[in-house]
Chain A
């Protein structure tokens, strides 16, 4: 089923939308989540949450690229869960866990600003990446968007791990220069 029809199903509030999403993009989302979360159960839960978020987001949203939409949702959910798990791991971390939980209840005064900054920064990064050679661009996105490990990247791009690391290092240095030139404060 093509993406437009799946989106239509969401808009029509048909539960078939979730089944079709799972059929078409379940494996992709699972791969994105698995790169971030080592436990299969956690990754699976994030994928399920992706469908729920999508259900809540459509309507009103109508994503241009459904795969990227699902991918971003899964990535964000997985990163949130990863942070939560890291907080739990740190010394029994009840305080951190509590703060993590209360974070949902309080409004973040810098939230809107940050969101804007993130969007602007993302735009700068997008322009920077678009100007890179194909291999460098894909390497960067695979590493920092998909969060693939160095070994997998080395196998995927037929390079040694040290080559991957040095190439990523050079890209990061160039990105830092570009961000500074664009006035993005980090």
Chain B
């Protein structure tokens, strides 16, 4: 009763004091004010746990490729790979010696250093590849699952090699161990490259094809003997 009386008396204090209290700094907005502190604590912990599990699941399932923790030889590879392809070489232009070398896996002519076509990219089999614009082709090849961090860029119309490069200074770098993960940066359904510059991504059938380097340019040798131009990423 006495406290109640005091509370009532305080309610009758001078008006100026009530107005003066309005000069106090504004109260900060308190989020979740009605939620008990203990619940907030456990709720925060649970939310953090969910985020961690989500990240782990995302990385493990490949939904978050940018965060994928690669295995071997990924240190120098681009972290956000994308691939491009080009149109096959014009069928009317024969590539000397190409069919034979591609089909039997013999080293490319000229340089004489090409590896067999079923080798995977663990390095340049014929000496330095001397790429011109970016890191050399590389591959992260985990156990049973390959992640190609190879080339990005866009198709350059009319730019298949004339074939002579293999004779002169072409070098087989290895085979494209593309795969399961994809030829591009996503795991979408396969798309085909097009001449208008569509990103070529996730084309499983390119796995195992030979990659050539010549004059600082990179080419993918298709099964029919034609070539795709691979433009290294520059970004």
Contact = CB atoms under 8 A, between A and B. Distances in A.
Contact count band on B: 20 to 34
Interface in B1-24: 2, 5-24
Contact of B24 (A65, A72, A157): A157
Contacts of B12: 72, 118-119, 122
A24 interface: no
B10 A68 contact: no
Nearest to A146: B21
B7 A79 contact: yes
B38 interface: no
Q: Select the residue from B5, B8, B17, B25 with max chain A CB neighbours within 10 A.
A: B17
Nearest to A122: B12
A118 B5 contact: yes
A67 B9 contact: no
A144 B7 CA distance: 7
B13 A129 contact: yes
Contacts of A157: 24-25
A112 interface: no
A26 interface: no
Interface string A110-136: 000010011101100110011000100
Chain A interface mostly helix, strand, loop or mixed? Answer: helix
Contacts of B13: 122, 125-126, 129, 141, 145
Interface residues of A, number: 38
Q: Select the residue from A114, A155, A157 with max chain B CB neighbours within 10 A.
A: A155
B26 interface: yes
A173 B181 CA distance: 73
B21 A138 contact: yes
23 contacts: A64-B15, A65-B15, A79-B11, A117-B9, A118-B5, A118-B8, A118-B12, A119-B12, A121-B5, A121-B9, A122-B9, A122-B11, A122-B14, A126-B13, A134-B20, A141-B17, A142-B21, A145-B11, A152-B27, A155-B27, A158-B25, A186-B2, A186-B6
List the 10 shortest-distance A-B pairs measured between CB atoms, nearest first: A122-B12, A68-B15, A141-B21, A121-B9, A65-B15, A126-B14, A155-B28, A156-B27, A138-B24, A68-B18
Interface of B: 2, 5-28, 30
Interface of A: 64-65, 67-69, 71-72, 75-76, 79, 114, 117-119, 121-122, 125-126, 129-130, 134, 137-139, 141-142, 144-146, 148, 151-153, 155-158, 186
